[in-house]
Structure 1
Amino acid sequence: MQTEGRASLNDANADRRRRRQLGLFAAVAFVVLAVDIVTKIIAMSQLADREPIRLAGGLLTLLLVRNSGAAFGLAEGYTIILSLVALAVVVVVLRLSRTLRSTPWAIALGLLLGGAFGNLSDRIFREPGFLRGHVVDFLALPNWPVFNVADASICAAAALIIVLAMRGRRWDGTIEESGRRPDSDKPDTSARQAHEPPQTPGVAADEPALRKAE
């Protein structure tokens, strides 16, 4: 009975952790998507037909660019293919989120999903048409292609995913080298150990103690 109770408690704790990770994942994705959409709307209204605006001594430049390629202006002319790739990324991330048990992975996948959705929304809803729309870019650093918030989020996600992969941490909370879970996810056995009687040295746990000599 006690074993069943502890198992139920561990399952409940694991379920709460899973809900927290999913909540964090969704919150990060929503914030990235919202910031990306709002900043693009502002850029479209404030930077159209204007000279580039240099900030912080030229460290950051604001200028409006409509990009038919991937992040940082790469692969121009492959808009439909890039749109399908973005759709595939969204599907894969959503499937992975079903087994999400890691806080760092929740942040990484949230950044990736929000960034992918941000640029995908441009390709779907902006001119010249469905899955062919041009992405709005408006941020530029010295000697660096023009980008947007979604691009920056995708790059941050990629960097974090690389770090997690190098450390062997998987999205389901296991550690790749041994397939074990981190200590925080292990069942608590302290209560069981506290109620177990001490064992006599040299006597196996499942063997009866020797009777006293007559």
Structure 2
Amino acid sequence: MPEKKKIKVKVKKRRLKVKKILVTILIMGILVLSFLYIKRLPITNIYIVGNNILSDKEIIDISGIGNYPSFITTLGSNIKDNLMENNYIKEIKVQKKIWGKVYIYVTEKKVLALYNDKLLLEDGLLVDNNYNVMSAPILIGDITSIKEKFIKKFSLVDNDVLLKISEISYVPNEVDSERFSLKMNDGNLVYVTLPKITKINKYNSIYSGLEGKKGIIYLDSGDYVEVKE
């Protein structure tokens, strides 16, 4: 009788294959659980930079992250969109950093003046003074006919100089319909026209030249100072 062939069962190789599958499933499970865990990690710290009018708390509330949601699923673009709806905000930059930290860099619109009991912003908006901004100069007179140009030109005034102005009065004359007088906090009076408004940015050096004396500074014509005795 012919000899029967022996069939070899590859049990060892089958066991190795099953082992590889189990290891793969285990690794995938660990990765999924790790992702779910990391996804649930909240924002740990929120830093607000550059704001003066709006408070940190208000910015955080408006941004929509006041409840410190998931760090991963919170998009910087959503934070920016929420904040840009506020009339006082000009620009927003959001940075997400390690350990769940979120930095919000705020650029607020310049407040040019308090006009008709409202704040006149650099983009022409008139908004209620809900934040009791007292540092803005009071604008006196009807500037309706030159409002657009007033906004464009006064936006060029340096912030530190703008803070030194207590009142802006519209005082046109026969020679110039865009003439203003600026009452300074230090007691000086400045006359200037819109085309020459950037001259006021040299006010600090002009003031130091007065050596403590008060006077009327004519920047609208002649660029001279009439010192008060």
Bin the TM-score by the shorter chain. Answer: under 0.3
Per the normalisation by structure 1, the TM-score is 0.22
Structure (1 or 2) with the larger CA radius of gyration: 2
Per the normalisation by structure 2, the TM-score is 0.21
- Higher RCO (CA 8 Å, separation ≥ 6 residues): 1
Structure having the higher strand fraction is 2
Structure having the higher helix fraction is 1
